[in-house]
Amino acid sequence: MLKKLPPNFPLTPAPLGSVSPRGWLRREFVVQKNGLTGHIDEIWEDLGPSSGWLGGTGENWERGPYYLDGLVPLAYALNDDALKAKAQPWIEWMLTSQREDGFFGPRDNLDWWPRMVALKVLTQYAEATDDPRVIPFLDRYFRYQFQTMPAFPVSMWAAARGQEQLLPMLWLYRKTGEPYLLELAELLRKQSYDWAGFFTHFPYEKTTHAYLNRPLFMTVKRITLIQDWAAKRRKQERVRLDQPLFPPKPKTKQEIEAGNASPFLQAFHKTHAVNLAMAFKMPALDAFFGGDADGSAAVQAGLDAIDRYHGLANGLFSGDEHLNGRSPAVGAELCLAAELLFSLQTLLAATGDARYAERIEQIAYNAWPATFTPDMCAHQYVQQVNQVEVSRKKRGWYDAYSEANLFGLAPNFGCCAANMHQGWPKLLGALVMRHADGIALPVYAPCTAAVDVRGTTVHISEETNYPFDGGIQIKIEKIENDDNQLEFTLRLRLPSWAEEYSLSYNGKQVSIALENGYLILKKAFSAGDQITLSLPLRLKLVPEATGGVTVHYGALLLALPIAAEQRIVRGTMPFADREFLPCEEWRFAVAEERLAQAKITRREPGELPFDDTNPPLAIHLPLVPAPQWRMRQNSTGDLPEPFAAKTENYVQKTLIPYGCTQLRIAQFPIATLEE
């Protein structure tokens, strides 16, 4: 067992509240505030006043903590009093719900898992407010866990996700140095899934159908849903009769261990895409607590394997809800995107590896905005790379209903409606980070930050329309010492797609070292210093393993938008569930020879930065019809084989950022010019 304080991460995210969005990113944060995040508690019962996480008799599992895990960082990133006031009753209820023995949360739900999410909420809140109640609260709860978990181990979701708790434990350990936390980490390691071993020897090369019999799975799921429905009705009846609520009878240790060892449940959890997205951070975190020292290598092996067999062009992997191969017609769940973003940000901190920053940009600027309407008043449960119809029809999902790709309040299942709020605000943690000798900018977006550099606060700003353009202006706004000057190192990530770059310091071109993906600028910086990084963006075709190509422009994936008729399924706009039905032809192929004819237009990102009608970037180029391309299961079928087409068959079309589209083609068949 580890006997000393884990070392600091190579990169440390700036505390919540010390990085503020600017420019298009701030406008996107405001869109989120004005969309579902700012109103979902008013229109959705599961996050309304009756929530079990507000002391009510309603939903008492993960949805309240999930919501707070995004609401709290959004509120403090914007320094928005209305959002803070919306979050505070939840925080107060959590803190005052704690029993003398340390347990907290809804009394009629004893599951370890939702409390793990709540702990992440409380550490973020404490970072932003310095509320003195949080540290003793966490200490009491972790001591309760340490005493209780040997007899009542983690099970089901908590067994798969147990090491998510290492983050708030590490936060508390660095505040208090309490040695029992290291023993608790060891206990979690023994009771949770061995994700390092799993990723090192990844077994699921095929779709989940090959490992988890779908008819059997759906039968078990129906039985479980019926049991859940019956339990909910019994609870409602007890509430109606004003009778007290009690938690279900706890399982014995032997029953829990038998369930955790079940081959069926093992296959279920290890093909569940959201579990995998969360799990990627866990071996690297566990290494800091004395786990496998090669945890980070295991993570990279796992990412490589999942990309090889299930990776998608938008930076995600398939998960509808389980691993489902690489077709551009399979689904990827919103929760998968949210949790993979956060895992990548944690891995970026824990390893300093620039590859994780690049993957963050790929998801945050493409897949993430694409799963919402531009006003963030509706979201999907799953998105498709090639998404030519959003409707209530059966598709080739492994475990999602016919409504899974609708845009709406809570289509298919409610977890994504609760968990959709963390993506944008937590991105700030990857924009400006502290390292041992200065400041790192691993992910680019407009922002300001105040960073502690060896005890001196440095104020820095970043002005840019990246990723829509490649110009990045950085300014040292202020240095809080007598000299207004400080020597430190500024690390700027150089994206792997950048074939060239230019860097200037106070107007003069400089040539500096490139180290592990970062440009290293070491200076005695003064207030007012300006650094300009220019990254020329070029169109590029990338071959895809399942056929065809995708079109990239720097960090952006481009897509052909498809005009659509919007139909309301239920609810009231702007939060209604809706279909998007295509109104124009979508079957087109791209020819590499035609890229040179592309014309690029840009506009300042507007109040809706990912607006489909006024996108900040448009690429006009000739495409050729591919009428041989067929539909299958209400989605695009296999891409046609490469074919030749005459020049006169090409038509002028416009590609826009993938994140600006609802219906789209992003993975194209290949065409060549017929001689």
DSSP string covering 191-260: HS--HHHHHHT----S-GGGTS-HHHHHHHHHHHHHHHHHHHHHHHHHHHTTPPP-PPPPPPHHHHHHHH
Map residue 122 onto helix, strand or coil.
Answer: helix
The CATH architecture annotation of domain 433-534 reads Sandwich (2.60)
Of 65-79, 221-235, 326-340, 432-446, give the lowest mean pLDDT range: 221-235
Q: How many residues are given for the chain?
A: 675
Amino acid making up residue 1: M
Residue 215: its pLDDT value, please? 81
Q: Beta 549-553 vs 513-515: how paired, if at all?
A: unpaired
As given in the structure block, the two tokens for residue 481 are 């010492």
Using a 10 angstrom Cβ sphere, with 0-12 exposed, 13-18 middle and 19 or more buried, the burial of residue 512 is: middle
Domain ranges for the chain, please list them: 35-192, 433-534, 539-673
Judged against a pLDDT cut of 70, whether residue 144 lies above it is answered with yes
Give, as one character, the DSSP assignment of residue 7: P
Split at pLDDT 50, 70, 90, the class of 245 is: low
Specify the pLDDT at position 239: 67
Cβ 408 vs Cβ 418: under 8 Å = no
pLDDT tens, position by position, 478-513:
999 989 999 999 999 999 999 999 999 999 999 898
Chain centroid to CA 206: 24
Question: For 592-609, what is each residue's pLDDT tens digit?
Answer: 999 999 999 999 999 999
Instruction: List pLDDT tens digits, range 73-131.
Output: 999 999 999 999 999 999 999 999 999 999 999 998 999 999 999 999 999 999 999 99
Helix and strand counts by DSSP (H, E) for the chain: 21, 30
Choose among 301, 392, 282, 401: nearest CA to 346.
Answer: 282
Q: Give the tokens for residue 379.
A: 């979201």
Say which residue the tokens 């897509």 belong to.
559
**Residue 617: closest CA among 666, 543, 559:** 559
DSSP string covering 277-335, please? Answer: HHHTTHHHHHHHTTS-TTHHHHHHHHHHHHHHHHB-TTS-B-BSSB---S-TTS-EEHH
